[in-house]
Structure 1
Amino acid sequence: MPFLSRFSGLPKYLNPVLRPLARFVPPMAVLHHRGRRSGRPFDTPVQAFRTRTGFIVGLAYTPDANWARNILAAGGGQISRGGRRYTIGRPRRRGPEARADLPAPVGLMMRKLGIDDFLEFDATRG
């Protein structure tokens, strides 16, 4: 269980503040996805790190985050990072081994915080 799970209510207050900035300040990013049942659009700020084929995002508060479930159910979505928008696809869950694909200090921080669950996806511009 991640250390941050104790603060699972925090995104409710942080997301409105981070959302406008996150799409322009890497590694912050905004995931654009739709609700599984409602079909309602959501914009969720996350920390997204580049991989060879796309991005990887730590599931900091819970491995069952709604945004992750939405992306997995839809088979993708979009992400805005560094002022660019990407289409994401082929979402897949990864475990603690994914930390090796992160920058070393970030992987260490994720390990110290007990973040063992990640979502990785491919990305193309547009």
Structure 2
Amino acid sequence: MPIPHAVTKFNKAVGNRLLIHLAGHGPFVELEHVGRRSGRTYRIPLNAFRHSDVVTLALTYGSRTDWYRNVVAAKGCRVRMSGHWLTLGAPRPVSTEEGMRRMPLIARPILRTAQVTEFVELPVLSEEPAP
């Protein structure tokens, strides 16, 4: 079971505005996606981990979040990671076991406690330095 919906609402209203400033530091990235209905560009902070030509994300709130549904509909997004903007392709599900293996050791017990079971990988299509 992913993190409860009430936490999602709080993070959307408050937490994301604070955490976006951590993007580009450590595992925090800034994910840029386009609203599937509004066409607006949104930026949210997430934890993401690169493994050569893919970026792996733990879907801590499950696959029904707006940002994830927008990325699926658009068949991709961009992330600012380690001083670069990465253009990513369509997300592909990764098994729970494989997703956990791709997470840092320190994150695994936290994800298990939160009962996170959904992971996705997105292929890196291009990379450019972030200004």
Amino acid paired to 2:77? G
Q: Which residue of 2 aligns with 1:66?
A: 66
Distance in 1 (alpha carbons) for counterparts of 2:18 and 2:106: 25
* Aligned residue number for residue 42 of structure 2: 42
Instruction: State TM-score, norm by structure 2.
Output: 0.85
TM-score, structure 1 length as denominator? Answer: 0.88
Q: Distance in 1 between matches of 2:43 and 2:34?
A: 9
- RMSD between aligned residues: 1.6
Bigger shift: 5-14 or 76-85?
5-14
Per-residue deviation, 1:36: 0.6
Stretch deviating more after TM superposition (63-72 or 95-104): 95-104
CA–CA separation in structure 2 for the residues paired with 1:106 and 1:63: 19
Aligned residues: 124
- CA positional deviation for 1:92: 1.2
Distance 1:52 1:110 in 2: 23
2:34 and 2:118 map into 1 onto residues whose CA distance is 21
Consecutive aligned runs of 4 or more in structure 1 exceeding 3 Å deviation: none
2:53 aligned residue: 53
Matched residue SS, 1:9: helix
Contact 2:92 2:122 in 1 (8 A): yes
Percent of aligned positions that are identical: 30
Corresponding position of 1:101:
102
CA contact (8 A) 1:72 1:92 kept: no
Task: Report the 3-state secondary structure (helix = DSSP H, G, I; strand = E; otherwise coil) of the residue aligned with 1:125.
Answer: strand
Unpaired runs of 5+ residues, structure 1, are: none
Aligned-partner Cα distance in 2 for 1:114–1:106 = 12
Which residue is 2:22 aligned to? 21
The C-alpha deviation readout for 1:27-54, integer Å capped at 9, x for no partner, is 0001111001111100011000112322
